[in-house]
Structure 1
Amino acid sequence: MTPTVDAGGPATDIRRADPTGGEPDPRASAQTTRIHSVEGVEVGPRRRVRSARLDDRFNVLGAAAAGIAVAVLLFGWFTPLSGGVGWVLVAFVAFLGFYALLVSLSSDWQEVKDRVMAVLLTSAGVILFGSLVFVVAFTITRGQEALPHLNFFTQSMELAGPLDGLDLGGIAHAILGTLMQITMALIVTVPLGIVTALFLNEVGGPFARFVRTISDAMTALPSIVAGLFVYSAIIVLITHQRSGFAASMAITVMMLPIVIRASDIVLRLVPGNLREAAYALGSTRWRTVWHVVLPTARPGLATAVILGTARGIGETSPVLLTSGVTAVVNLNPFEGPMISLPLQVFDFVKSPEPTMIARGFGAAAVLLLLVLALFYIARVIGGRGPGQLSRRQQLRVVAASARDHQRITVRSARGRAAGPPESSSPLASPPAASSPSASAQKETSS
C-alpha cells in the first residue's frame, strides 16, 4: 500500500491507494491525514501542540511514577540523604527525562521539544498557583480564631489590651486607615501616571527619554527610601507630625513608577493604524487620544492600576515612618496618626500573646480579601475591550434596533397607503409634444 499525494491545493488528502492502481480504498478514509503546502512545497502534517492525546496522558503518568521511584531509590536506599527540596528537585528532573524518552518513542524531535516545553510551562503555572493558594490558605487558617467575631470588624483596639480575649477589640481603625490612604494615593497616582505615559508615547522627544529613564530607575526604589524622603520633605518641613496624608504620599511614591511603566507598555501596544485612521478623518491629536487610544488601552490601563495598587497597599516600612501607630479611629488624614492594615499586622504579630498573633493573622486575611476585592472592581471597570458590550448593553442595543425597525415599518406602511404623487410617478408618460412621431405627423399634415 503506497500513499498517493494530490498537490493541487494548499491542503490535500493522503489516502491509501490500491496497489493495482485502482481507486482509493473508501474503508481507509478514517486514516486520512492532511498535508499543508506553501507554494507547492510540502511541509508535512500539522503538529498538535496544544491538544493532548490519550498516549500523552499515559506518558505523563508513567514519567511521573518513574521520577518518584528514582527519587525514592536515591534518597531512601542508595544514599542516606534527607528529603525536602532536594527530593522534589530530583524527582522533577527525572520526570522530565523519562517523559522526553517516552515521547521520543512515537514522535519526532520537534514534537519532543514541544511537549517538554509545554510540561515546563505547565509546571511553572502550577507552582505559582499552588504558592498563592498556600499563602492564602495558611493566612486564613491561622486567622480563623479572630475572623468569626463580628467585633473584629466593627471595633478598634482603643479599649482592648494584649491580655483581652478575641471578643473585645478589632481592626476597624486599620481598615478605615488603609482605605483612606490608598484612595488618596490613587487620586494622585492614576491621573499623573496615565498622563505621564501618554506624554512618553504621544509627544516623545529628549525630555521624554529622560522621564522614562527616571521612572524606570524609581521602579527599583527601596520602600524605606521613599518613606525617608516623605518624612524629610513633608513631616519635618511642613506638617511636623505623622499623618495619613504623609503615608499616602509615601505610597504614591511607590505606586507611581509602577503605573507609569505598565501604562507606557500598554499604550505602545495600541496599533498605529488606529491613530492614522483617526487623523485621516480629520481628528486632532488629543481627540484621537481621548476617543481612540484610551478606549483601546483601557483593559491594560486597568491592569497597570491593579499592579500599582498591589504594590502600595501592602507597604509597611514607609507607612511606619510617616503614619504612626494608633489604636483609635482617626478620620482626619491631615492631623494625628492613622494606622493601616500592614502596619497593624506588624504591630500584632510582634506581641508574644496568642490572641494578638491571632488578631495579626486575621488582619492579614482581611488585607488579602481587600486586595482581591479591589482587583475585582478594577477588572469590572476596565476588563472589557473596545466594542465588547455587557449583557445589559447588548439588550439595550437589541431593543433600540427593534424600535427603529418598527418605526421604519410604520412609515413605509403609511407611505404605501397614501400612494405616490402624480408628479413624481415614474410610470407617467412623457408629453405628446416631445414625441418624435407626433412631430413628424404634424409636418406631414401641414
Structure 2
Amino acid sequence: MSVTTDRPAPSAPAPLSQLPPGSGLRRFKNRTATVVLTGAMVLAMIPLFLIIFEVVNRGIGVVNLEFFTETEPPPRRDGGGYVAGFVGTLYIMALAILMSIPFGIATAVYVVEYGPNRLASSIRFFTDVMTGIPSIFVGLFVYGLLVIGWGGLGFGTFVGAVAIGVMMLPIVTRSAEEMLRLVPDEMRNASYGLGARKWQTIMRTVLPAAAPGLTTGSMLAIARGIGETAPLMLTAFGSGLIVTSFQGEPQGSVPLQLYRGAAQPFEAGIDRAWGAALCLFALVLLFTIAARWIGSRASIQK
C-alpha cells in the first residue's frame, strides 16, 4: 500500500506593484543613503577639479614645442624648456621598468603557482609592507646602500632607477598576483591533461590568459613611478643638462625640475614649473586611462 502526499504548489511571487509592509521606510533609507553618498562624492571631487583647473590654467600657456626641445634657462629668463628632465625621466623609467615589471610578475608567478609555503607567505607579507612605505624612506635606503655604500656609486641614472623600481615593484607584484588567481584552474588542468609541463602551462596558458590584467597593473605602477620626486632627490639628484651616462653623473627628471622651479622666487621659473606639472598630470592621466581601458576590454572579451 503506497501513501501519496500532495505537495502544495509553489506560490507565485508577488508582483512588484504590491509592496510588503515597511517597504516605504526601506525606500526612504535607500534614497537617503544614495543622496548622502552622492553628496560626499561631489564634495571629494571639488578639490580635484579645482587642482585640475588651476594646473591647466597656469600651465597651458607654457607648454609648447620649445618646452620639450630646449633646456632650462636661468630662473629670471622667460622661455626655455625641460628637455633635460624629459630625457632623464624617460631614461630612468626605462631602466625601472626593466627592473621591476619582469621581477614583479615572476614573483607573483612563484607565489600563485608554487605556493602556498612559508617563502610565499613571507613574500606576500613584505610586499604588503612595501606598498605602504613612504617614498622618502626608499630614497634613503638606496642612498645608504648604493650612493654612499658598496663602493660609493654616487648619484646617477642607475641608482635613481633602482629607487623608482623599488617603488613600482610591490604594485606590480600584488596586481599580478590577483590577476593570476583569476585564471580558472580548469585551464591549468586542461594543459596538464595534454601533457604540458608546469613551466609550459605557466608560459603558454596562464600568462597569456592574465596578460590584460598584468598590463593594467604594470601601467598603473608606471603612472605611480613617473611622478615620484623624493626618491630621486637622494639618488638621481637632478641636472639641468641632458645626461646620457649610465651612472656617476647626476641625472635630471621632470619631477625634480618641477620641485626646484616651484621653489624659485622668479615668475619665469614658476611658470615653467606649472607647465611641468601639467605635463606630469597628462602623463599620469594617460597611463591611468589606458590601464582602465585595457582592463575594461579584457572584461568585455571574457
TM-score by length of structure 1 reads 0.59
Q: Distance in 2 between matches of 1:198 and 1:266?
A: 10
- The partner residue of 1:197 within 84, 108, 128 is 108
Q: Distance in 1 between matches of 2:16 and 2:163?
A: 55
- What is the deviation of 1:135? 2.3
Indicate if the aligned counterparts of 2:220 and 2:287 stay in contact, CA closer than 8 A: no
- Correspondence for 1:85: none
- Correspondence for 1:291: 204
Indicate if the aligned counterparts of 1:263 and 1:300 stay in contact, CA closer than 8 A: yes
- What is the deviation of 1:125? 4.7
- Correspondence for 1:359: 272
- Correspondence for 1:300: 213
CA-to-partner distance for each residue in 1:1-32, whole Å, 9 max, x for gaps?
xxxxxxxxxxxxxxxxxxxxxxxxxxxxxxxx
Instruction: Indicate yes or no: 2:10 matched with 1:40.
Output: yes
Which residues of 2 match residues 83-98 of structure 1 at below 5 A? none
Moved more, 215-224 or 234-243: 234-243
- Correspondence for 2:251: 338
Indicate if the aligned counterparts of 1:296 and 1:386 stay in contact, CA closer than 8 A: no
Which residues of 2 match residues 58-73 of structure 1 at below 5 A? none
Q: Distance in 2 between matches of 1:380 and 1:115?
A: 31
- What is the deviation of 1:115? 3.3
- What is the deviation of 1:43? 4.4
Indicate if the aligned counterparts of 1:299 and 1:383 stay in contact, CA closer than 8 A: no
- The partner residue of 1:230 within 142, 148, 152 is 142
Indicate if the aligned counterparts of 1:275 and 1:293 stay in contact, CA closer than 8 A: yes
Instruction: Indicate yes or no: 2:25 matched with 1:112.
Output: no
Q: Distance in 1 between matches of 2:16 and 2:223?
A: 42
Larger-gyration structure (1/2): 1
Q: Distance in 1 between matches of 2:11 and 2:202?
A: 46
Instruction: Indicate yes or no: 2:126 matched with 1:214.
Output: yes
- Correspondence for 1:325: 238
- What is the deviation of 1:317? 1.1
Indicate if the aligned counterparts of 2:223 and 2:283 stay in contact, CA closer than 8 A: no
* Structure 1 unaligned blocks of 5 or more: 1-38, 48-105, 390-446
Residue 211 of structure 1 aligns with an amino acid whose one-letter code is: I
Q: Distance in 2 between matches of 1:247 and 1:129?
A: 33
- What is the deviation of 1:286? 2.4
Residue 208 of structure 1 aligns with an amino acid whose one-letter code is: A
CA-to-partner distance for each residue in 1:253-301, whole Å, 9 max, x for gaps?
1111111112222222223333233333433322222233223322322
- Correspondence for 1:150: 65
- Correspondence for 1:348: 261
CA-to-partner distance for each residue in 1:359-398, whole Å, 9 max, x for gaps?
1111110111222333455567676428949xxxxxxxxx
CA-to-partner distance for each residue in 1:119-141, whole Å, 9 max, x for gaps?
44544554555544332221111
Which residues of 2 match residues 159-174 of structure 1 at below 5 A? 160-166=73-79, 169-174=80-85
Q: Distance in 1 between matches of 2:158 and 2:286?
A: 23
The 1:280–1:240 alpha-carbon spacing in structure 2 relative to 1, beyond 3 Å, is closer
Indicate if the aligned counterparts of 1:301 and 1:382 stay in contact, CA closer than 8 A: no
- The partner residue of 1:369 within 262, 265, 282 is 282
Q: Distance in 2 between matches of 1:203 and 1:118?
A: 44
- What is the deviation of 1:182? 1.1
Indicate if the aligned counterparts of 2:220 and 2:288 stay in contact, CA closer than 8 A: no
The 1:129–1:267 alpha-carbon spacing in structure 2 relative to 1, beyond 3 Å, is farther
- Correspondence for 2:155: 242
Residue 112 of structure 1 aligns with an amino acid whose one-letter code is: F
Q: Distance in 2 between matches of 1:362 and 1:385?
A: 35
Give % identity. Answer: 37
Q: Distance in 1 between matches of 2:37 and 2:203?
A: 38
Moved more, 301-310 or 268-277: 268-277
**How many equivalent pairs are there?**
288
- What is the deviation of 1:242? 0.6
Q: Distance in 2 between matches of 1:283 and 1:185?
A: 33
Q: Distance in 2 between matches of 1:115 and 1:339?
A: 53
The 1:128–1:203 alpha-carbon spacing in structure 2 relative to 1, beyond 3 Å, is farther
The 1:218–1:232 alpha-carbon spacing in structure 2 relative to 1, beyond 3 Å, is same
SS in 1 for 2:164: helix
- Correspondence for 1:176: 87
The 1:270–1:128 alpha-carbon spacing in structure 2 relative to 1, beyond 3 Å, is farther
- Correspondence for 1:443: none
SS in 1 for 2:234: helix
Q: Distance in 2 between matches of 1:188 and 1:141?
A: 37
The 1:212–1:328 alpha-carbon spacing in structure 2 relative to 1, beyond 3 Å, is same
- What is the deviation of 1:315? 1.2
Q: Which has the higher contact order (CA 8 A, sep 6+)?
A: 2
- What is the deviation of 1:193? 0.6
- What is the deviation of 1:110? 3.3
- Correspondence for 2:3: none
Q: Distance in 2 between matches of 1:364 and 1:371?
A: 11
Moved more, 174-183 or 305-314: 305-314
- Correspondence for 1:134: 50
The 1:386–1:152 alpha-carbon spacing in structure 2 relative to 1, beyond 3 Å, is closer
Indicate if the aligned counterparts of 1:185 and 1:252 stay in contact, CA closer than 8 A: yes
SS in 2 for 1:346: helix
Q: Distance in 2 between matches of 1:275 and 1:113?
A: 46
